[in-house]
């Protein structure tokens, strides 16, 4: 066996304990449009990563194509900028073969939900140990403003001058339908919330799906304004917190309750009573409640839940075979190879 093949990631490498946000900033000049939501997400990610307690060399960002694709270049970690839509598949190959790494796949709504939709749902179904961040701005940015799979019906863009005729995806419902074990949503402009969600995602042992509402000031400005503007955000952000009744509003005067038919409704707490409020249970095995929450708002102009919708444990891809494979690979040598080559019926021709 060639010595060079043995890799040993150092446990404490380059001073893990003292890593700061600045350590995660790569030398490359950021080239997004001024005011782009990508800056906020990048800053939040860089601020959060020291918390992982890993050497930066054990972290990998894998991206696809789109404005968000450049993310990989701006992180001072290992980075792999792949092709359009394929980040979850690239990340799958990397994560299953290197379980010692923290692998993050990142892309926009077009990248992850349109051209890469198949890879996304299969990574979630397999519960690959990767963190998937979908920066959803409901439009194509890099190709200069076409409709995306999350653009609303009737959306006028360059490619839909008469308005989009296509029903948009509900990304969270899609992820839940694919069997995702972790599903969350956050908003670019709320750095604390983004970091909170990143933390929960990183602590989750399997695939984590995080939708980040993200503002594209050039092609779809203020799409989430209701959720982020000072004046409107309290009335629109429904912050999900595990184990607590779901309430929102400046005075926490509104809440989410279950109707007799099982569907969810937004209610005035004063009318419905506190006991009627739904207590958020992210760990419920049955995904129907998370699914109902994902469908609570049809438009971002309505009160919209953010936070962790679902976080359940189920077998992580590759975990059951990991030890066997690693041990096998450590043990295999010329003797085992010899035995393999001589498997089946053999015969010898004497000289």
Partner 1 sequence: MSRTVDKDRVVIRIAGDSGDGMQLAGGRFTDATAVFGNDLATAPSYPAEVRAPAGTLRGVSAFQIHFASRDILTPGDRPNVLVAMNPAALKSNVDTLESGATIVVNDDAFSKRNLAKAGYDANPLEDGSLSEFRVYRVPMTSMTVKATESIEGVSSRDGARAKNLFALGVLSWMYGRPVEVTEEWIERKFANRGAILTANLAAFHAGYNFGETADLLDVRYRVKPAALRPGTYRNVDGTTATALGLIAASVTSGLPLLFASYPITPASELLHELARQRSLGVRTIQAEDEIAAANMALGAAFGGQLGVTATSGPGMDLKAETIGLAVALELPMVIVDVQRAGPSTGMPTKPESADLLMALYGRHGESPLPVIAAATPAHCFDAALEAVRLAVDYRTPVILLSDAFLANSSEPWLIPNIEDLPRIDPRFAQGPNLDGEFLPYLRDERLARPWAIPGTIGLAHRIGGLEKEDGTGNISYDPENHARMTSLRAEKVRGIARDIAPLEVDHEDGAELLVLGWGSSYGPITAGARRVRERGGKVAAAHLFHLNPLPANTGEVLRSYRRVLVAETNTGQLSQIVRAEFLVDAESFTKLEGKPLLAAELEREILERL
Query: Is residue 45 within the footprint of partner 1 (CB under 8 A)?
Result: no
3-state secondary structure of 311: strand
Q: Report the partner that residue 137 touches, choosing among ligand SF4, partner 1, none (CB closer than 5 to 8 A by kind).
A: ligand SF4
Binding mask 24-43 for partner 1 (x = CB under 8 A): --x-x---------------
Which tokens is 103 given?
């692998």
Nearest to ligand SF4 of 102, 137 (CB atom): 137
Residue 118 engages partner 1 in binding (rule: CB under 8 A): yes
**4-9 contact pairs (CB < 8 A, 24+):** 9/55, 9/57, 9/58, 9/100, 9/101
Regarding 272 and contact with ligand SF4 (CB under 6 A), the answer is no
Q: Min. distance of Cβ 190 from partner 1 in angstroms? A: 28
Beta strands in 167-316 (DSSP E): 182-187, 208-213, 237-240, 247-248, 254-258, 264-268, 304-311
Burial class for 57, CB neighbours closer than 10 Å (0-12, 13-18, 19+) = middle
Which of these segments, 126-134, 212-220, 254-262, 296-304, binds ligand SF4 (CB under 6 A)? 212-220
Q: Interface with partner 1 includes 17 (CB under 8 A)? A: no
Residue 217 makes contact with ligand SF4 by CB under 6 A: yes
Interaction of residue 45 with ligand SF4, rule CB under 6 A = no
Selected range binding partner 1 among 50-58, 243-251, 276-284, 305-313, rule: CB under 8 A:
50-58
The DSSP string of 92-152 is: HHHHHH-TTSEEEEEEEHHIIIIITHHHHHHHHHHT-S-EEEEEE-SS-TTTTS---TTSP
Only segment of 217-225, 252-260, 326-334, 337-345 that touches ligand SF4 (CB under 6 A)? 217-225
- Please report how close the Cβ of residue 77 comes to partner 1 at its closest, in angstroms: 6
Reduce the secondary structure of 204-245 to three states and give it as a string.
CCCCEEEEEECCECCCECCCCHHHHCCCCHHHHEEEECCCCE
Angstrom distance (rounded) from CA 282 to CA 286: 10
| Residue 22 contacts which entry, partner 1, ligand SF4, none (Cβ below 5-8 A, type-dependent) | none
Q: What is the footprint of partner 1 within residues 262-321 (CB under 8 A)?
A: 318, 321
Return the residues of window 280-339 that contact ligand SF4 according to CB under 6 A.
Answer: none
Among 78, 145, 217, 276, binds partner 1 (CB under 8 A): 78
Site map 120..159 versus partner 1, x via CB under 8 A: --x-------------------------------------
Question: Pseudo-torsion of CA 232, 171, 99, 77, nearest 10°?
Answer: -50
Sign of CA dihedral 267, 268, 271, 272: positive
Burial class (CB in 10 A: 0-12, 13-18, 19+), 17: exposed
74 binds ligand SF4 per the rule CB under 6 A? no
Q: Assign 78 to helix, strand or coil.
A: strand
Footprint of ligand SF4 on 17-36 (CB under 6 A): 32-33, 36
Q: Does 205 bind ligand SF4 (CB under 6 A)?
A: no
**Using CB atoms within 10 A of its CB, is residue 243 exposed (0-12), middle (13-18) or buried (19+)?**
exposed
* Cβ distance to partner 1 smaller for residue 193 or 317: 317
Name the site residues for ligand SF4 (rule: CB under 6 A): 32-33, 36, 38, 67, 137, 141-142, 216-219
């Amino acid at each position: 066996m060639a010595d060079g093949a043995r890799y040993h990631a150092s446990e404490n490498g380059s001073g893990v304990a003292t890593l700061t946000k600045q350590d995660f900033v790569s030398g490359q000049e950021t080239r997004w449009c001024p005011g782009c939501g990508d800056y906020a997400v990048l800053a939040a990610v860089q601020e959060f990563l020291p918390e992982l307690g890993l050497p930066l060399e054990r972290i990998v960002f894998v991206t696809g194509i789109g404005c968000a694709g450049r993310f990989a270049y701006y992180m001072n970690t290992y980075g792999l900028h792949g092709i359009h839509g394929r980040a979850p598949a690239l990340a799958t190959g990397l994560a299953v073969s290197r379980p010692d790494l923290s692998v993050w796949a990142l892309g926009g709504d077009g990248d992850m939900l349109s051209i890469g939709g198949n890879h996304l749902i299969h990574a979630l179904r397999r519960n690959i140990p990767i963190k998937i961040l979908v920066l959803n701005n409901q439009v194509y940015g890099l190709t200069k403003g076409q409709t995306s799979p999350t653009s609303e019906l009737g959306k006028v863009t360059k490619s839909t001058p008469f308005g989009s005729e296509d029903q948009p995806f509900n990304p969270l419902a899609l992820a839940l339908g694919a069997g995702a074990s972790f599903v969350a949503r956050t908003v670019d402009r709320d750095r604390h919330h983004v970091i909170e969600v990143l933390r929960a995602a990183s602590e989750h042992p399997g695939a984590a799906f995080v939708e980040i509402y993200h503002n594209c000031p050039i092609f779809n400005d203020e799409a989430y304004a209701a959720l982020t503007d000072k004046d409107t955000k309290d009335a629109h952000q429904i912050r999900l917190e595990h184990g607590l009744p779901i309430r929102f509003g400046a005075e926490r005067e509104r809440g989410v309750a279950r109707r007799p038919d099982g569907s969810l409704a937004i209610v005035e707490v004063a009318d419905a009573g506190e006991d009627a409020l739904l207590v958020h249970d992210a760990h419920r095995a049955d995904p129907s409640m998370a699914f109902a929450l994902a469908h609570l708002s049809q438009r971002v102009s309505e009160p919209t839940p953010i936070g962790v919708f679902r976080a359940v444990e189920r077998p992580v891809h590759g975990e059951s075979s990991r030890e066997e494979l690693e041990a096998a690979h450590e043990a295999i040598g010329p003797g085992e190879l010899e035995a393999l080559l001589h498997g089946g019926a053999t015969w010898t021709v004497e000289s």
